[in-house]
Amino acid sequence: MVNLLDDIQRALHAKAYYFALLGTLSLPGVCAAMEYPDGVAKSDRYELSFNTRLGQKYRDQLTGKQCYQFRSSMLQEEPMLRQRVSSERVVFVIPGSGSSVGPTMRANRVIYLDLHTFCCDMTDAVQGWLKAVKWTEPFETHMAGIVRVHPRGIPGAIELLPMLA
């Protein structure tokens, strides 16, 4: 999990905004999956996870359902126009665009979110969540099987070759 959070920050720094946002939008699902014994991130669990971690901060701006549907649209799981939660459209403003949008703004049935701020808010919330669930079940069981970076390889495979597995 820490590697994913670090990679989101590296993507923001490298201006790889699509990947930073995609990684960020995956976080509520990862958290949700790790909180349940079956390890499955269903849409209702994703929404609850988002609303629990960021619902207060983004109240009246963005819901877990909207966030889930934006994520699904990015992954081509559910086209955005067909599955929109409300008549409002959610957009993420790219940093340095010279706009006067604050962290969030609403105008003409569009919710404008500052991409950098949103990504940082989410990663901060997940870091807090990690501290709270560390050493608890089912989190620890799921962490044992999560894909992670192995900087020195995996015993029995090609050792000393960094890999994701």
Over residues 11-31, the pLDDT tens digits come to 999 999 999 999 999 999 999
User: How far apart (Å, rounded) are the C-alpha atoms in residues 160 and 162?
Assistant: 6
- What percent of the chain is modeled with pLDDT above 70? 90
Task: Say whether pLDDT at 77 is over 80.
Answer: no
Over residues 121-133, the pLDDT tens digits come to 999 999 999 999 9
Beta bridge partners of 89: 110
Q: Whole-model pTM? A: 0.85
Cβ partners under 8 Å of residue 128, min gap 6: 53
